Structure 1
Amino acid sequence: MKLSAELRSFQDRLGHSFSKPDLLAQAVTHASMSSANRDDNQRLEFLGDRVLGLVMAEALLALDTGATEGQLAPRFNALVRKETCADVARQIDLGAVLRLGRSEMLSGGRRKQALLGDGIEAVIAAVFLDAGFDAARNLILRLWGPRVHEVEEDARDAKTALQEWAQARGLKPPSYVEISRSGPDHAPVFTIAAQLENGESQEATAGSKRQAEQAAASTLLAELEKST
């Protein structure tokens, strides 16, 4: 099978040249585009999720030889969750090459977190089947990059901590308001405000809503703790 120019460009962004190009073609084919002669990426997604999990578990154990299971679990979850996978997919513009049916295309499928997260897992599996575990591990560690070293150790995230702060003072849980969205569809930038019913508020900007919400919550919590 000969790859299209679009997929060859994606292959360059991915940093892996497929000896079996049909694996890459399958990895970017959503179920909405499957047919009797075209396999979708669901089986690859299943495999890729397991490969990703093994690589991350191995990496976290190597990084902190003294960490307990209770410390490792939240770090692991943060690295393999769908939001993180989707962020990695956006990083290499996976959405641009996803093969989607008309309904998914019209509903903005190239930007959907679930489709992007599933897609990068399918791509990981394709690399694993094409070149083996070492190639898949190298790909994952390169794409996840500093995320592996910077993953938070605390199971509580900033949004949870802010909610607990509010509840302890008899306030309603904080709300998160999208102030603006900019940038191209494949790499949007969100500005989110974290707000409390007492009027306290802080804004933050990031490449995903979740990251912006976390950053806004962290900033607001820091200001609240400073003032008290």
Structure 2
Amino acid sequence: MHNELEKKIKIKFKNPKLLDVALTHKSYAIENNLNEFNERMEFLGDSILSTATAVFLYLKYPNSDEGKLSKIKSSAVSGATLQEIAKKLELGKFVKISKSEESTGGRVKESILANTMEAVIGAVFLDAGYEKAEKFIHKLLDKQKINLSDFKSDLQEVIQSKYKTIPVYAVIDEKGPDHDKTFKIEVRNGKKQLGIGLGKSKKEAQQNAAKNALLRLKVKS
């Protein structure tokens, strides 16, 4: 099974035990009386992800200021983004979780997938060093098509300035299987609908809803 994941991430582990631990959730370890699980690797992977992402954005967007880069970095390393990446790698089917977690949809849960993704990054670092881990992260980020336009932040600034309130997002429809859903999200200011957006993730749909709202507000003004 690990061979299949190694093919997906295009990394062959010298020490497969590291990958095994990275895929072991604490709930599974407790249920099976195991001493090792992935939380320490998750801690390590989180730090490496942060540094490698900062380098990636610094090199990719040489004309963007610190504030803009910080906003995009925050989105790039968020649980929602890591969940998206994990789903594309089908990480959920490789994770070892307890029967209880299994019964409550643990294999598609954002927290479990995001934390496991960080643990896998930590395992890559321990197995092959920082350069290999950084290269792995940069490839993942490249495929995410990171957009410098943060429409949610822009919309919030407009609404706060004009109405002294914060826009609220809500899922109004979702279609497709768990591994390939399309979300429809609306953004409101109080009872007034500002915009609607579609996306393969909630994050993407929210950005598109905010973009739609900004376009509507621009037309009205």
| TM-score of the superposed pair, with normalisation by structure 2 | 0.86
Give the secondary-structure state (helix, strand or coil) at the position aligned to 1:203. strand
- From 3, 20, 28, the equivalent of 1:25 is 20
Equivalent-residue separation in structure 1 for 2:204 and 2:25 (angstroms): 26
Contact 2:23 2:116 in 1 (8 A): yes
- How far off is 1:197 after superposition? 4.4
Identity %: 32
1-side partners of 2:162 and 2:71: how far apart? 27
* Equivalent position to 2:69, from 63, 69, 72: 72
Residue 67 of structure 1 and its aligned partner are, at CA, apart by 5.0
State the aligned residue count. Answer: 219
The more displaced of 31-40 and 11-20 is 31-40
Deviations 1:153-208 (A, max 9, x none): 6xxx4234334433444485433232211222233221112234464443211122
- Cα distance change of structure 1 residues 34 and 158 upon mapping to structure 2, 3 Å threshold: same
State how far apart, in whole Å, the 1-side matches of 2:158 and 2:63 are.
Answer: 31
Residues 187/224 of structure 1: CA separation in 2 closer, same or farther (3 Å cut): same
* Structure 2 residue aligned with 1:124: 121
Unpaired segments ≥5 residues, structure 2: none
SS in 1 for 2:148: coil
Contact 2:41–2:118 at 8 Å: present in 1 too?
A: yes
| Superposed displacement of residue 62, structure 1 | 2.7
Does residue 176 in structure 1 map to residue 176 in structure 2? no
1:99-143 C-alpha deviation (Å, 9 max, x unpaired): 111221122111111111111111111111122222212211111
Aligned-partner Cα distance in 2 for 1:218–1:113: 24
Unaligned runs of 5+ in 1: none
Q: What is the rounded CA distance, in whole Å, between the counterparts of 1:26 and 1:134 in structure 2?
A: 21
Deviation at 1:145, TM superposition (A): 1.1
Q: Which amino acid aligns with 2:175?
A: S
Once residues 6 and 51 of structure 2 are traced to their aligned partners in structure 1, the CA distance between those partners, rounded to angstroms, is 23
**Shift in Å at residue 98 of structure 1?**
1.1
SS at match of 2:13: coil
What is the CA RMSD across the aligned residues, in angstroms? 2.4
**Which residue of the other structure, out of 145, 152, 156, is the alignment partner of 2:148?**
152
Name the aligned partner's letter for residue 140 of structure 1. Answer: I
Sort the Cα spacing of 1:66 and 1:219 in 2 relative to 1 into closer, same or farther, 3 A: closer
Q: Do structure 1's residue 133 and structure 2's residue 133 form an aligned pair?
A: no
* Deviation of the 1:71 alpha carbon: 4.0
SS of the aligned residue for 2:178 comes to coil
Measured at CA, do residues 44 and 33 of structure 1 come closer, stay the same or move farther in structure 2, by a change above 3 Å?
same
